[in-house]
Structure 1
């Protein structure tokens, strides 16, 4: 009997995550993921460009909304969406719209997971999670910023793990927003040149992000963010 109330409360708190899971199942049932591909973009490019030309503001809002859904539901296809943003709106506006959609979507998933599961994990983990929370509160922004700059872990995992570990929302949102800007600019820039790629019947070379001219600056930014952790700890120990 003593566990009945906590169990009921846990189910009540789980509703945001359940809504996202239900929406994810619906998205796959409707085949939304099949439209998030380079082939689908190539096939519908004329209609999409016409929509942007006829209603640019509505098209931008629709694009951001779709990006929010894709990231919040952790659907595959974010890279294609970023390319599409550069193709449809240009490298700067396309990147700005992609960053806005990705940040909002990541924050929604973060908040849903934290609201649904963080309290349960806190009860189960005890002192260990308490120490992790302290570390994230102190240095979480810099660690997450490094992960966003060099996406060595899947984007969805970098959204969920900080929520479950108890990272505060503000540094999560800030690190996500700032950290995805460089990579998004690169992919939006590639997307801006898709017109010629489509005419040639080819595919964009996404391996360009691993070229030294792009990868090394990203690695440098990630190293600088970790340097911020080291500096904070040094000052704290002094």
Structure 2
């Protein structure tokens, strides 16, 4: 076996987790769209509540694991899962279960991307010059702020926020902590909506999932975004002044 062949096999093995994630994501997008849905939750709500009442700890652990799988494989239904967390466990501790599941899943896809592409790409960026190197240095100098910002901004897709840090060499611990903290505001909003699903079901209605974009919700979140970006702004000002 030549060295080139061995390198190719090693490269494929490193990319296998990421390939698996992509394959499951595609299959899930085709097959699970109608399975993990608001209608499915409405149809099975009584059975879910009965199982929760009889097996609370097992339900909580299973829910966190289920949520983690949805996020790790980018399956459809993360919003429905968040609503379910509120429906089954109320706003608290439901929000903790939602955030825990989302963080575990995000760590999973982060590790798959880091193992498959991230380390090599980060090394190339470190060795590069010009614009690419300046971008990498800018990210490195503001990692905490950037990581919190991409989690807080509602417009940043969760999948993108999971992958990008893995591709630029962000440490795992820093990624996990900022993910956990950064998704709390949005998770709290949707968990609270889920906690009120009993009344929504009774009226035969569907929840307003656009609530996060209402001014009384969006403005505080944008305020947190500005707070997260403030250190980067101060660093830029001090840099220009030579302080």
CA drift at 1:135: 2.7
Structure 2 equivalent of residue 109 of structure 1: 109
Partners of 1:141 and 1:7 lie apart in 2 by 35
Q: Determine if contact 1:65/1:101 at 8 Å carries over to the other structure.
A: yes
Partners of 1:140 and 1:167 lie apart in 2 by 7
Length-normalised TM-score, structure 2: 0.88
2:162 matches 1:159: yes
**1:121-173 superposed Cα distances (whole Å, 9 cap, x missing partner):** 34665415544443333212211211211221210011111211222222221
Single out whichever of 160-169 and 220-229 deviates more from structure 2.
Answer: 160-169
1:59-138 alignment to 2 at 5 Å? 59-122=59-122, 126-127=127-128, 129-138=132-141
2:223 matches 1:223: no
Structure 1: segments with no counterpart, 5+ residues = none
**1:1-45 superposed Cα distances (whole Å, 9 cap, x missing partner):** 77545433311211322333354456467x344321100100000
Structure 2 equivalent of residue 18 of structure 1: 19
Change (3 A) 1:81 1:137: same
Structure 2 equivalent of residue 8 of structure 1: 9
Q: RMSD across aligned C-alpha pairs, in angstroms?
A: 2.2
Single out whichever of 166-175 and 58-67 deviates more from structure 2.
Answer: 166-175
Length-normalised TM-score, structure 1: 0.90
2:192 matches 1:192: no
Aligned pairs, number: 237
Partners of 1:191 and 1:88 lie apart in 2 by 8
Single out whichever of 165-174 and 120-129 deviates more from structure 2.
Answer: 120-129
Q: Determine if contact 2:28/2:76 at 8 Å carries over to the other structure.
A: no
Partners of 2:182 and 2:143 lie apart in 1 by 13
Structure 2: segments with no counterpart, 5+ residues = none
Q: Determine if contact 2:29/2:76 at 8 Å carries over to the other structure.
A: no
2:46 matches 1:43: no
Single out whichever of 13-22 and 141-150 deviates more from structure 2.
Answer: 13-22
Partners of 2:62 and 2:195 lie apart in 1 by 19
